[in-house]
Amino acid sequence: MDAKYSDEELKFRDEIRQFFEQELPETLKSKIEKGEPLYKEDQVLWQKTLAKKGWAGINWPVEYGGTGWTLMQKAIYFEEQAQHDVPGLIPFGLSMVAPVIMAFGNEEQKSRFLPDILNSNVWWCQGYSEPGAGSDLASLKTTAVRDGDHFIVNGQKTWTTLAQHADWIFCLVRTDPHVKKQVGISFLLIDMKSPGIDIRPIKMMDGSNEVNEVYFDNVKVPAKNLIGEENKGWTYAKYLLTHERSGISAVASSKRTLEKIKALAVSTPAGDATMMEDSAFRKKLAEVEIELIALEYTDLRILSEVSTGKAPGPESSVLKIKGTEIQQKLTELRMDLASYSGFIFHDPVGDNNEEALYLRGQGIDLAAQVYFNVRKTTIYGGSNEIQKGIIAKAVLGL
């Protein structure tokens, strides 16, 4: 029993560090240092830089141009990514639709879609949630009716993150309304430029437009865009949940955020002293830090079990629940530090009339808006209550 990296792992870490220090493009570096917002072009530039190095497909096997890294190597990568404030890659193409295409798509689909995902030539969004299908996702109503070599899609998706930037959407659609709700669902890829698709932005409480409604009005989709078999979509969607959970705890980025909060506390005046000398704040900070250490070791414990061949179990729900709770507590700490200064409204739409990809606060700016925004984490990806239900059923047998 020991928690040390092997020599090989240390060498790997140095290689990552060196790459981040030397190859992060200057324009991005300066934006990150100044805490300026990042736009789509920045994200594309960074992913292309990584793709050139062969590191864009972090979770991908080598045969598709991925890294083939072990779980431990991925953990080290995420740790360094956070420590260097390097942006993470947008997951919808790389780690959501791509693994499904790899596992269940045909050869034509693989060669058609995977290279463009890896190189950030094509952006994807996720068409899962609907107004009447949130936690109860399987009750979705968007229909796809076969018409010769096409499907005709009608319905509405919602909470579609970054749909305004997406070229394609992967959708769960109902292809058989007469069977049990889980077995009548198919997994369909749809070109966002298809006639009949209408994207309507949803303005959120932090002022951002991260998510959208996507309407489908008799949208004609070629049947060759169906993944795997018709009516097997629910199985494919669940495959994702059990297979790719690395990074779900967000421990690496939470550790980095905590470091920044500490640095900020030292420079935040409070009376004649600083907030770092405020005993109530210090205790609150320590409590979050301690909970984060526990989560870090839970993460490592699960990772170590999975590395020795055990299948990732529903225990990873623990990582989602605790990880998101900690992310939220960190936003509270930043708001505590900021006091009035964190409550000045900043419009996410910049002078260039373009909206930043995500809300990024530097220092105490935007503390309240980030607090509002991060409430989403305990709701998305299977709300924390749903996760607790999974533990109750799958682990405790209730």
Catalytic residues: 244
17 — alpha (psi -120 to 50), left (phi > 0) or beta? alpha
Tokens of residue 216, six digits:
């489908």
Q: Which two tokens stand for residue 139?
A: 């009750």
Tell me which residue of 182, 183, 192, 112 sits closest to 160, measured CA to CA: 192
Instruction: Determine the Cα–Cα distance for residues 173 and 156; give it in Å rounded to an integer.
Output: 10
CB-nearer residue toward other proteins: 258 or 357: 258
Q: Which C-beta is closer to other proteins: that of 72 or that of 223?
A: 72
Residues at the interface with other proteins (CB under 8 A) = 1-6, 9, 72, 279, 282-283, 286-287, 289-291, 293-298, 300-301, 303-305, 308, 315, 318, 321-322, 385, 388-389, 391-392, 395-398
Residue 388 amino acid letter: K
Check: CB of residue 105 under 8 Å from CB of residue 228: yes
Alpha-carbon dihedral sign for residues 216, 221, 225, 228: positive
Of the pair 4, 178, the CB lying nearest other proteins is at 4
Minimum CB separation of residue 306 from other proteins in Å reads 11
Cβ nearer to other proteins, comparing 129 with 387: 387
Give the separation between CA 47 and CA 62, rounded to whole angstroms. 17
Which of 171/303 has CB closer to other proteins? 303
Comparing CA positions, the residue from 320, 321, 335, 324 lying closest to residue 371 is 335
Coil, helix or strand at residue 175 = coil
Question: Do you know the residue count of the chain?
Answer: 398
Q: Which is nearer to other proteins, 227 or 319 (CB)?
A: 319
Residue 380, C-beta contacts closer than 8 angstroms, at least 6 positions apart: 159
CA geometry: angle at 132 spanning 393 and 168, to 5°?
100
